[in-house]
Every structure is written in C-alpha cells, then in structure tokens.
Structure 1
Amino acid sequence: MTSFDDRERAFEAKYARDQEMTFRITARRNRLLGQWAAVQMELTPAEADAYAKAVVQADFEESGDEDVIRKLVGDLTAAGIETDEGIVRRALEERLIEARRQLMEAQ
C-alpha cells in the first residue's frame, strides 16, 4: 500500500503544480494583454499599469476568457480604437505564448 500511497501523493502534487502554473501563465498573459491594450489607448505608464491590473482582475468574473475579451473590446472601442473580437483574440494568443516563454525562462 505504501507505494500506491506514494504514487497518489506524487500525482496530487503534480496536479497542484500544474494548476498553479496554469494560473500564473493566465495571469501573466492577461497582464501582457492589458499592457498591449494600454499602448493602443495611449495611456500613461501609471494608467497602463493600473489598466493591466484591471484586466487581470476582470478574468475572475467568470470562467474562461470571454470576460477579458469583452472588457478589452469594450474599452478599446470606447477609446475610439477600431477593433473587434478577432483582433483581441489574436493578441490574447500572442500574449499567451509570451507569458509561457517568460515563465519558463524564470524557472
């Protein structure tokens, strides 16, 4: 039984690490996405930092990426920037790759 218990604990630990890494990648991606949108809206550095944090917070509203995409499309449109959901989704995918790269380099 000991080897089974050890395997179970190892799988649980790996699952917890994987979930933490997924959360960190998503949070980093959302921050990078917020910074990208802030550049589009020509925000000051202080405003850009606050906006990036707001984008990270927006992801906690519901499961999935739709809340973040909705926020960015709405904010960019309100700022007079011509955008659509496709543009934001492409930016999201590009920032996901960058977030993974940054976190892998940090380890």
Structure 2
Amino acid sequence: MTTFDKREEGFERKFALDEEMKFRATARRNKLLGQWAAEKLGISGAEADAYVKAVVASDFEEAGDDDVFRKIRKDFDAKKVEQSDHQIRRTMDELFGKALQQLQSDA
C-alpha cells in the first residue's frame, strides 16, 4: 500500500467518523429541542416524553432540518406559543453545538 493510499484511507475514515458524529449530534439536538419545545408548550411527564420522540421521528421525513423546524413551528402556532422562526432556528443551532459538546465529552 502506497503512502497516497494510506492517506486516502485515513481521509475516508475521518469523513465517516465526522458523518457519524454529525448524525449522532443531530439526533441528540432533536431530543434537546423536543425537551425545550415541550417546556414552551407546557407539557410534562409522559406526554413530554412522547412529544420528544415525535420531534426526533419528524427528522426522518426528509433530508435537512426543515422537517423538524416545521413540526415545532406548527405545534407552537397551534398552542399560540410566541417564538419567531429566527428564535426557533437559533435554538436549533445552539442545541446542536451543545449536543456536539456532550458527545465529545462522552468520548
């Protein structure tokens, strides 16, 4: 195996690890986001747990974050929770960073 092949294999391995970390961080972010939204919606206990699972599951509708955002937006609108689109997206970004930190500290 040449040095070039070893470097290529190393880059491929790093890419795979980075993608796995991104997937895990997104899943954790969605859980944190569901908890945040449940609190804003005034739900707790088993109902909040079910809501968190619904938020996590909503991410599998399509690629990207828009499906999760739409779920939160729709639920907030239905319960008349005052949060702008910008506030929701900013919270999503902040919680993604928090999820990454949690995963890195777990490792």
Deviation at 1:47, TM superposition (A): 1.5
Structure 1 SS opposite 2:47 = helix
Indicate the residue corresponding to 2:40 in structure 1. Answer: 40
The amino acid across from 1:101 in the alignment is Q
Deviation digits for residues 16-70 of structure 1, max 9, x if unmatched?
A: 1010000011111111001000001111221112211211111121122111111
The two structures, once aligned, show a CA RMSD in angstroms of 1.4
Indicate the residue corresponding to 1:19 in structure 2. Answer: 19
Aligned length: 107
Whole-angstrom CA distance in 2 between matches of 1:13 and 1:90: 31
The amino acid across from 2:53 in the alignment is K
Whole-angstrom CA distance in 2 between matches of 1:61 and 1:67: 6
Deviation at 1:101, TM superposition (A): 1.4
Whole-angstrom CA distance in 2 between matches of 1:97 and 1:5: 34
Q: TM-score normalised to the size of structure 2? A: 0.89
Give percent identity, aligned residues only.
52
Question: Which consecutive unaligned segments of at least 5 residues does structure 2 have?
Answer: none
The list of structure 1 runs, each at least 4 consecutive aligned residues, that deviate by more than 4 angstroms after superposition, is: none
Q: TM-score normalised to the size of structure 1? A: 0.89
Indicate the residue corresponding to 1:92 in structure 2. Answer: 92
- The structure, 1 or 2, with the larger RCO (C-alpha pairs under 8 Å, 6+ apart) is 2
Deviation at 1:95, TM superposition (A): 0.9
